[in-house]
Every structure is written in structure tokens, then in C-alpha cells.
Amino acid sequence: MTKTLEVHNVKCGGCANTLTTALKEEFGEVTVDLEVMPRKITLDIEDDRMEELKTKLRGLGYPLTTDELGTFETVATTAKSFVSCAIGKANVAFNSEKK
């Protein structure tokens, strides 16, 4: 079933690249809408895999807007998102140099 979900901490194409790359193997194709706030991701996912997706997103630093996070978890996911964003930007730059 196709779902569109709102996520925190997605700021740029680097973040979007990290999300699409990190989620592809486990969840298939993911699109990231950078034109809206909060940002949205769209993917095909069954309800029984939503907890798995939430855990993966939190680990990358991009929790769902519906996640209830404590102060420490909010700070931790924000910090993780900076690292994920930098990795995404580096991968985009590296892959464009290869072409």
C-alpha cells in the first residue's frame, strides 16, 4: 500500500539521498518531497512493517512527525540527521564525479 508520511529534520538533497539510499534495500523505492514542510516521503509499505520503518528512520535521524520523542531522543535524532545529511551530500558529490 502506498503511504505518504511526514518526517522531521530533512533539509536538503543530501538528506533525501540518504533516505532513498538507506531505505531502498529494505523498503523499495522511496520518494522525498523537498517542496513541502514538513518534508514527506512516499513508499509502498504494509502496516505490519511500519514499526520497522519508524526504527530505521529514527536511526538515520529522520523520525516521523507522529513519533512521540523525549528531549534526549529529539536531540539525538537531530544530531544523527546532520551526519546522515553530510553522508548524503558526499555520496551525491562522489557519484557525480564518477560520471
What is the β-pairing status of strands 2-7 and 30-33? unpaired
pLDDT(98) > 80: no
pLDDT of residue 70: 93
d(CA 70, CA 86): 25
- Mean pLDDT across the chain: 94
Architecture of the domain delimited by 2-98: 2-Layer Sandwich (3.30)
Measured CA to CA in angstroms, residue 2 lies from 44, 63, 71 at distances of 4, 19, 31
Per-residue pLDDT of 47-56, as tens digits, reads 999 999 999 9
Per-residue pLDDT of 49-90, as tens digits, reads 999 999 999 999 999 999 999 999 999 999 999 998 899 999
Write down the pTM of the prediction: 0.90
